[in-house]
Structure 1
Amino acid sequence: MLKAGLMMKQEMLLSSILVHAERFYGWQEVVSRRVEGDLHRITFKAMAARARQLANALHGLNIQQGENIATIAWNSHRHIEIYYAVAGMGAVTHTLNPRYTPQQLIYIINHAQDTTIFFDLTFAPLIKAIAPHCPSVKNWILLIDEDKMPADPPVAGLLNYEALLKAQNDEYVWPEFDENSACTLCYTSGTTGNPKGILYSHRSTMLHAMMSNCADAIALTRKDTVLPVVPMFHVNAWGLPYAALMTGCKLVMPGPQLDGPSIYDLLERERVTVAAGVPTIWLGLINHMKQNGLSFSTLKRSLVGGSAVPVSLIKEFDEMGVELMQGWGSTEMSPLGTVSKLSGDERSLPKQEQYEIVAKQGRTIFGVDMKLLAEDGTELPWDFEQSGELHVRGHWVLHEYYGGDGAKAFSHDATGKRWFATGDVARMAPDGLMQITDRTKDVIKSGGEWISSIDLENIAMSHPAVLQSAVIAIPHEKWNERPFLIVVKRPGMEVSKQDILNFYEGRITKMHIPDDVEFVDAMPIGATGKVQKSELRERFKGLRFV
């Protein structure tokens, strides 16, 4: 018979992070560039008090535990207050991505049955367009100072966030409940079909934040200042609003200004040591810095994720004295699955070899397991030669989609363990190093071989005249499919198609070199900062190779 341990039982609830932050790091700051245009400062202690005021206000609006409370907002102290107040009282924070189309947002809001929506003034036109089609929403709350409320509100009965808080005191005791209760809800940005919901629990979110702070992951400390450029509507800003408050780390929130000059100003002004965002953000920042002869004075580490990181970007960060950490995961994984950081031995390798290691997706952090499956469902060895579809399971990996959608993404092994199919094609080394070679829908099947679009994109990105690249498959009479390279040039630089194709010589098998190159002014970027290859396929759907 199992014997019960004699340890305290304490539910893992997000409210405990806020209580800890106020009690032990109450002096620490959250700095926000607000929609109002100013740079706002607030301590953890004051923010925790405002979160309790908000919880009282939500009760005053008759919001019940389990209700989905949505946000359409930028990264700010107000958004953090909502994160903690809503989840802390037992409701669910549902972050909506404003980069979705109005039709997608209407579908998501109705699917989730959101009852209250907080939003920034930036999105007032969007709210005006979608509100008539969202019958479940009872309260629309604008995140702005009282004296800046619009004369022509986007919806009838519009409430003001600051007025709601002002009417409440900060006396509130966070309730205790089951740690497996839902706390946040995010929807995927799938390129086919409707977006699907991932409903996170307090327990899964706490464990994810705790492990993201381990030494081989993001490793925030109270000595750090972190700038999450990754939006709070993108997988809860990768868990940073939780991880930072756990450790007493200063938070700098960029608000709506995500351009290179604005990000650089915040990095330097607030002496940021750690930053996080998708590759497109950092490419814009590096380009701004190069054009203006700028350098980093305090930034030491940058977490980059959302899509594959080119070796050229890793090299540029290193030459500026910044360690680039590549994170891999997905919305279904909260999102962190692996982190690519150099080990002690790897730091003694030649620089180019170091860059190529970091360009891989790295090793799992504790809490996530993974395996590779062949097309016939058999498990593949970790020999770094054979590629297969990557399946994962773990403490913060979803068990099923919200509403029961997407059942085909799950399977059970011979022992009954449940696995999630990520849709990524990967290979693994015997020591656990993992490399994504493609998405199952993006891999190019040519003459019986699988050609990795990611490998081809990374080589193109290492050319000094290339700012962005994307590779898609084009039908071919003989080879079934052939790679087609699409390129955005760096401002002020010129390069020809032949120059690009010649650049591949000696860097990859001749059979894998793209058949053609097309130059474009800009890439189509989706709701989470990724290049939308579906749009590129549509644009070039009439192209055929012979």
Structure 2
Amino acid sequence: MFPSTMMDIPLTVQNIFWRVERLFYDKPLATYTESGEAIRSTYGELARNVHRLASALAKEGVREGTRVGTFGWNTQRHLECYFAIPCMGAVLHTINVRLFADQLEYIIAHAEDEVIFCDRSVLPILEGLAGKIPTVRLVVLMNDGPEPTGKLPRTVDYHEFLASGDDHFAWPTLDERAAAAMCYTSGTTGNPKGVVYSHRSTMIHSLVAALPDSVNISEVDTLMYAVPMFHANAWGLPYAAANAGASQVFSDRFLDAERVVNLLDREGVTISAGVPTVWLPVLNLLDQTGRKLPKLQRVLCGGSAAPPALIAGLRRHGIRLVHAWGMTETSPLASLTRIRSTMLDWPEEKQLEVAAKQGVIVPTLEWRIVDLETGNEQPWDGKSIGELQIRGPYITGTYYNDPTASEKFMDGWLRTGDVATIDPLGYVQLVDRTKDLVKSGGEWISSVELENLIMAHPKVLEAAVVGLPHPRWQERPVAAVVPKPEYRGQLTADEIREYLADKVAKWWLPDEVVFLDALPRTSVGKFAKNQLRDQLADVAKRWSASATA
């Protein structure tokens, strides 16, 4: 081998923190409280707190490799944990506050967390686990709110904890392949699975996320991500924004449409991010009130497929929705949709078709689609479907301490569980999750495509489609629809089916349309289709009873 002469400097989260502390110390940060007021700060103040926090943790016996959990919403203090914990060599474990108690008990014990930083608003949830999380010896309360009941072994206020630390902490030299953070999947089937992010993977992801044809983050931007910081490192945006020197705004746990619009407007946010269920009510509010968000340039949207009606609707207000796709296992940003220069003279309707896809894979990653039955790689023709598989330097290669991990990998590729097509230009379009495809009469029906079409109806706010067991056809689709508030009690099932009649094959039409006030959601805001199937179980029973009558 002919050796290079490049310096062998490890890629670590310390690189990002150096930029925050030395280059961008004057850039503003803001955390919004329940009252709607902003607590204002700077990266410089954050950096001082990060040193004190790391020092205080070291005095508590936290060492390289120690797992330190966070159990809270989007705040500056959470971002201080994002830096102090991995920069000192410990492992940041962001814990999903929306998980069920048994799942929380499992992941805290599985990760062997020793310290947990907790928002007081979710302290009762953590106290409900008292006696079941034996590795936890200290809980640091990050903000104001209810006082602890004494059920947990030891609690301390964040300010008091910072005061116990020194003004300067000497950062150790870290291996770039050492663990920086970990996050568990939402565990829709079986126990949640732990994904461990290395310093190297985190740094590469931060650089890729900021690229012009990616999220496109620069020092002039202000970011407010409606993605919770407890989920997949808030899509990696806290680190990517800090690395670029962009300002950050934190919404805590408050994401109703009125508050989101007020915050975006007041802070002059240029880039935001969140799941479709955040942006659908925002669009509805903008349409109803005529309010404007002149500074907001683009919204990164993922978690589930964004309906074309949402993309077109935000575009009417001068906001570009950038469709993205990723998973906890992919750090998570894997692909984004950008309209290429060669498409700019295409009709708007054709551009919208492209914008509704999940996009082109980002640099450093590769993907392929594999036939669900044969395992053969499928062509990129925009028609052939298969399971989407992916690999790259920030894609997980296994799950933490999980003997079943091999089931999710194939020849060095991560099996995503998403069914997709890839067109000749490399744009992927998700057809469905493997478990959510509807198999009817030997043919596949895409629940995602049906949902998007239904949500384009002007009277519909949200829709989810599931397949239910059918005595003749194996499965048939059922649509659960939430009308817009002004149309509740007016929208009919026949109206939905008539709307779909010229848009899909007749055998795709939902056998039943059920109207609900709200759709069940997962811990990260996606439609909880397992719960929805349970809610609609009586429909399948009725089909079965009718067939045997």
Distance apart, 1:405 and its partner CA = 4.2
Residue type of the alignment partner of 1:24:
L
* Residue 262 in structure 1 maps to residue 259 in structure 2: yes
Equivalent residue for 1:288, pick from 285, 294, 305: 285
Alpha-carbon distance between aligned partners in 2 of 1:412 and 1:324, rounded to the nearest angstrom: 33
Corresponding residue for residue 217 of structure 2: 220
Q: Deviations over 1:301-321 (max 9, x none)?
A: 000010010001001110000
Alpha-carbon distance between aligned partners in 1 of 2:410 and 2:190, rounded to the nearest angstrom: 24
Residue type of the alignment partner of 2:454:
A
Alignment of 1:338-487 (within 5 A): 338-374=335-371, 375-413=373-411, 418-487=412-481
Alpha-carbon distance between aligned partners in 2 of 1:458 and 1:403, rounded to the nearest angstrom: 38
Equivalent residue for 1:531, pick from 527, 530, 533: 527
The gaps in structure 1 that reach 5 residues or longer are: none
Distance apart, 1:380 and its partner CA = 1.1
Alpha-carbon distance between aligned partners in 2 of 1:372 and 1:251, rounded to the nearest angstrom: 37
Deviates more, 1:500-509 or 1:155-164: 155-164
Distance apart, 1:196 and its partner CA = 0.6
Alpha-carbon distance between aligned partners in 2 of 1:269 and 1:412, rounded to the nearest angstrom: 48
Alpha-carbon distance between aligned partners in 1 of 2:33 and 2:496, rounded to the nearest angstrom: 43
Residue type of the alignment partner of 1:520:
L
Corresponding residue for residue 207 of structure 2: 210
Q: 2:222 touches 2:271 (CA, 8 Å); kept in 1?
A: yes
Residue type of the alignment partner of 1:401:
Y
Distance apart, 1:235 and its partner CA = 0.3
Residue type of the alignment partner of 2:494:
Q
Residue type of the alignment partner of 2:468:
I
Corresponding residue for residue 253 of structure 1: 250
Q: 1:124 touches 1:154 (CA, 8 Å); kept in 2?
A: no
Q: Deviations over 1:467-516 (max 9, x none)?
A: 11011112223322111111000001131111100001221122212122
Q: Deviations over 1:74-126 (max 9, x none)?
A: 11110011010000000000011111111110111011111001101101211
Equivalent residue for 1:161, pick from 158, 163, 172: 158
Distance apart, 1:397 and its partner CA = 0.6
2:504 counterpart SS class:
coil
Alpha-carbon distance between aligned partners in 2 of 1:187 and 1:117, rounded to the nearest angstrom: 15
2:376 counterpart SS class:
coil
The gaps in structure 2 that reach 5 residues or longer are: none
Alpha-carbon distance between aligned partners in 1 of 2:148 and 2:475, rounded to the nearest angstrom: 57
Deviates more, 1:195-204 or 1:22-31: 22-31
Corresponding residue for residue 541 of structure 1: 537
Alignment of 1:20-35 (within 5 A): 20-34=19-33
Q: Deviations over 1:151-208 (max 9, x none)?
A: 7455353111111112322211211121000011100012111111000100001101
Equivalent residue for 1:306, pick from 296, 303, 320: 303
Q: 1:474 touches 1:483 (CA, 8 Å); kept in 2?
A: yes
Alpha-carbon distance between aligned partners in 2 of 1:265 and 1:187, rounded to the nearest angstrom: 32
1:426 counterpart SS class:
strand
Deviates more, 1:167-176 or 1:532-541: 167-176
Alpha-carbon distance between aligned partners in 1 of 2:209 and 2:349, rounded to the nearest angstrom: 27
Alpha-carbon distance between aligned partners in 1 of 2:290 and 2:418, rounded to the nearest angstrom: 38
Alpha-carbon distance between aligned partners in 1 of 2:409 and 2:255, rounded to the nearest angstrom: 39
Distance apart, 1:332 and its partner CA = 0.5
Q: State the TM-score, normalizing by the size of structure 1.
A: 0.96
Q: Deviations over 1:219-267 (max 9, x none)?
A: 1011111101101011000011110111110101111211111111110
* Residue 172 in structure 1 maps to residue 169 in structure 2: yes
Coordinate RMSD, CA, aligned:
1.5
* Residue 497 in structure 1 maps to residue 493 in structure 2: yes
Alignment of 1:108-119 (within 5 A): 108-119=107-118
Q: 1:35 touches 1:121 (CA, 8 Å); kept in 2?
A: no
Alpha-carbon distance between aligned partners in 2 of 1:296 and 1:350, rounded to the nearest angstrom: 26
Distance apart, 1:381 and its partner CA = 1.0
Distance apart, 1:35 and its partner CA = 5.8
Residue type of the alignment partner of 1:17:
I
Residue type of the alignment partner of 1:508:
V
Corresponding residue for residue 40 of structure 1: 39
